[in-house]
Amino acid sequence: MKRHFHYQKGNVSKYSRKREGFEMSDMSNVFILDHPLIQHKISRLRDENTGTNEFRKLIEEIAMLMGYEALRDLPMEDVEIKTPIETCKTPMIAGKKMAIVPILRAGLGMVGGILALVPSAKVGHIGLYRDPETHEPHEYYCKLPEPIDQRTIVVLDPMLATGGSGSEAVDFIKQHGGKNIKFMCIIAAPEGLERLRKDHPDIQIYVGHLDRCLNDHAYICPGLGDAGDRIFGTK
């Protein structure tokens, strides 16, 4: 198994991966955020001895670090302001307020980290549950800030396992008119990343770490267990 990284400004790497029986190509819309701080905090997340309080804080901190890179292409405009010295034009974020859309329930743990960067962002919610037999997602709730078609949208889910929930969530957003979509996850399985990339080649996908594979129960290996249970203390 080989990993090929092309380092870009801001410590963002584009990732291509090939292994026996599984191949991912054309990864131009996928970004693996391999910053040492992100990797260190993900390792702390994985530890089964990390308690609920620390786990929540780590999820939020990682989301903020990832958001710093994922939002580097937000549109800007020059705005006139008056400093204590003189009047000048200086850049500020342009357009409608950004939309953050966590996939319930684990995605809620990442919201605070993005709001710390963009406090004025609007927050929508998508509720999905995974069928225990087929592992396919089913929607039970969707509410998005309007006008969604005029906003940069950041979809949040700590884990990208089969890719079903992530792909369906993006589908729902597109059905409501969403266009400029970014998907952010902390840990992904190759199978889920490939599905999301193939289903939605027009979105940007940001990943904290790409793990080895899925097990027979569709859990990511080595993973970190059930992110929702560990965030909310509901084992």
Q: Which sequence spans correspond to the domains of the chain?
A: 2-18+25-73+96-232
Q: Catalytic one among 44, 46, 105, 130?
A: 130
Please state, in angstroms and rounded to a whole number, the distance separating the CA atoms of residues 80 and 88.
6
Residue 98's nearest CA partner among 79, 124, 128, 65 is 124
* 77 token code pair: 């405009």
Beta carbons of 96 and 90 less than 8 angstroms apart: no
Q: Identify the residue with better confidence: 188 or 12.
A: 188
Residue 191: count other Cβ atoms within 10 Å of its Cβ: 18
Please state, in angstroms and rounded to a whole number, the distance separating the CA atoms of residues 35 and 61.
13
Q: Is 229 noted as a catalytic residue in this protein?
A: yes
Per DSSP (E only), the strands in the chain are 2-8, 12-19, 22-24, 30-33, 76-82, 87-93, 99-104, 122-123, 125-130, 137-143, 152-156, 159-160, 180-188, 204-210, 213-214, 220-221
Q: Catalytic one among 47, 134, 212, 234?
A: 134
Residue 116: count other Cβ atoms within 10 Å of its Cβ: 13
Q: Is the pLDDT of residue 46 over 50?
A: yes
Q: Is the pLDDT of residue 224 over 90?
A: yes
Name residue, tokens 């000048």: 88
pLDDT at 27: 76
Report pTM. Answer: 0.86
Q: Is 134 noted as a catalytic residue in this protein?
A: yes
pLDDT at 26: 65
Q: Which CATH code is given to the segment(s) 2-18+25-73+96-232? A: 3.40.50.2020
